[in-house]
Structures are given as structure tokens and as C-alpha cells.
């Protein structure tokens, strides 16, 4: 679903939040899901906005509301089969935001499920880049992501082990995003079985 709310073939960049957006995990994820479901059309609903804190993704937040609008529009054409979440770098630099990250993550997932009318919608979250070390509270955010499957049903966590950055020690490089897309697809398929 592109920025103009039209269904188009997925090409990188899928995300349109910033003009500098490049490769993301979304396209490879979609390709992997299509391979596994040859009789089903796979629709992607990109909602990413880089550099944002999770508070803006809470049910009353502007980014949550914008994403919900896109998701509701997509529901007119199909069924939402999963949510991919990769965020947390901006919350890792502040002790206060890192401490409440887990609570906010759980609240956001509950809100998505309620607002989309599916209490079992699979949610897959990903570990922040292992190369991302400059944020003092990264381990707190990473732990909240990693333990999610132990605390919230129908969720999974994907490791970023072995994935490289694009030279800024913050963002994954293109090869890493493609591999991440495969990892996310593998996890969501296991939740959908």
C-alpha cells in the first residue's frame, strides 16, 4: 500500500517516511511470504517512521493513529495476518523511556489487536542492531523485545546476530535488511501455523 493508498508492486524503498529511505526488511519479507503462500496475494502496509519514540506509537499517538488509518483501509481489501515491529533506538538513549519501553510495547500490541479486531494477530519484533552500542540503555529495550514471547501470546522475537550496519553504527545495511526480512518471515510463518 503506497503513500497514496494504492496497491502497487513492492519496490525498495517501501518506506516513504523520509526521502533518504532505502532498503528495508519489508520487501524481502513479502517475497518470502509469497513463496510460502503461492495462492495468496501478500499486501504490505508500510508505516515506518524512522527516529521516533514508542510513545508516538501508543494508541493515542499520532503515528499509531496514522498507521491504524492505513491498516483499516487495507482491511477493506484483505485480512491483516501480522505486524512487524522494529523500533527502539531512540528510546535506548534515555533511562526514563527505556524503563517504560516494555510496558508501552505491551500496551501498543494490545491496542493494535483490539483496534484491528483480532486478539491473536501475530506480532514479530526484532532485536536492535548488535553494533548499536552508543545508547546507554539499549540492553533494557533489547530485553523488553527479547522476552516479549514469554509475556505476550502470539508474538516472536528475531535476533540481529551477524547483521552489519551501513557505516553509521545505527542503521542496518541493505544485505542485513534483506536477511532480517527472511528472519521475520520465518518467525511469522511459525506463528501462523
Residue matched to cell numbers 494504492: 6
Q: Let me know if residue 113 belongs to a domain.
A: yes
pLDDT at residue 8, rounded to an integer: 86
pLDDT digits (tens, 9 = 90+) for 142-177: 999 999 999 999 999 999 999 999 988 888 999 999
Q: What is the pLDDT of residue 2?
A: 83
Query: Sign of torsion, CA 11 187 178 35?
Result: negative
- Give tens-digit pLDDT for 180-193: 999 999 999 999 97
Q: Using only C-alpha atoms, what is the Rg of the chain? A: 16
84 forms bridges with which residues in the sheet? Answer: 124
Q: Which helix (H) or strand (E) holds 73?
A: helix 62-75
Q: Convert the pLDDT of each residue in 50-107 to its tens digit.
A: 889 999 999 999 999 999 999 999 999 999 999 999 999 999 999 999 999 999 999 9
The answer to whether residue 10 is domain-embedded is no
pLDDT at 108: 99
Residue 103 lies in a domain: yes
pLDDT score, position 95:
96
* Residue tagged 532498503 (cell numbers): 23
Is the N-terminal amide bond of 13 cis, ω within 30° of 0? yes
Q: What is the pLDDT of residue 10?
A: 83
Number of separate domains in the chain: 1
- Band the pLDDT of 46: cuts 50, 70, 90: very high
Return the number of other C-beta atoms located less than 10 Å from residue 101's C-beta. Answer: 25
Please report whether residue 118 resides in a domain.
yes
Find out whether 71 and 116 touch, Cβ atoms under 8 Å. yes
Residue 155, H or E segment: strand 155-158
Average per-residue pLDDT for the chain? 93
In a domain, 20, yes or no: no
pLDDT, residue 18, reads 59
Domain span holding position 58: 25-192
Answer for the pair 88, 141: CB distance below 8 angstroms, yes or no: yes
Q: Which of 19-23, 36-40, 91-95 has the lowest mean pLDDT?
A: 19-23
Whether residue 49 is contained in a domain is answered as yes
Residues with Cβ within 8 Å of residue 170, at least 6 apart in sequence: 89, 129, 132
CATH number at residue 86: 3.40.50.1110
Secondary structure (DSSP) of 13-63:
----SSTT----HHHHHHHHHHHH-TTS---------TT--GGGGSTTSHH
Predicted pLDDT of residue 17: 67
Q: pLDDT above 70 covers what percent of the chain?
A: 96
Q: Mean pLDDT across the stretch 117-130? A: 97
Amino acid at each position: 500500500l503506497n503513500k497514496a493508498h494504492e496497491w502497487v508492486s513492492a519496490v525498495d524503498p517501501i518506506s516513504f517516511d523520509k526521502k533518504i529511505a532505502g532498503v528495508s526488511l519489508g520487501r524481502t519479507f513479502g517475497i518470502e511470504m509469497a513463496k510460502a503462500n503461492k495462492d495468496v496475494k501478500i499486501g504490505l502496509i508500510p508505516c515506518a517512521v524512522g527516529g521516533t519514540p514508542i510513545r508516538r506509537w501508543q494508541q493515542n499517538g499520532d503515528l499509531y493513529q496514522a498507521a491504524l488509518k492505513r491498516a483499516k483501509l487495507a482491511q477493506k481489501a484483505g485480512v491483516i495476518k501480522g505486524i512487524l515491529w522494529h523500533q527502539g533506538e531512540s528510546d535506548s538513549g534515555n533511562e526514563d523511556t527505556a524503563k517504560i519501553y516494555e510496558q508501552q510495547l505491551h500496551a501498543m500490541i494490545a491496542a493494535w489487536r483490539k483496534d484491528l479486531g483480532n486478539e491473536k494477530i501475530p506480532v514479530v519484533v526484532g532485536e536492535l542492531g548488535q553494533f548499536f552500542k552508543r545508547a546507554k540503555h539499549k540492553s533494557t529495550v533489547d530485553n523488553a523485545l527479547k522476552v516479549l514471547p514469554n509475556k505476550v501470546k502470539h508474538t516472536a522475537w528475531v535476533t540481529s546476530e551477524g547483521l552489519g550496519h551501513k557505516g553509521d553504527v545505527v542503521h542496518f545495511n541493505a544485505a542485513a535488511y534483506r536477511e532480517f526480512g527472511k528472519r521475520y518471515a520465518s518467525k511469522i510463518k511459525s506463528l501462523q501455523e
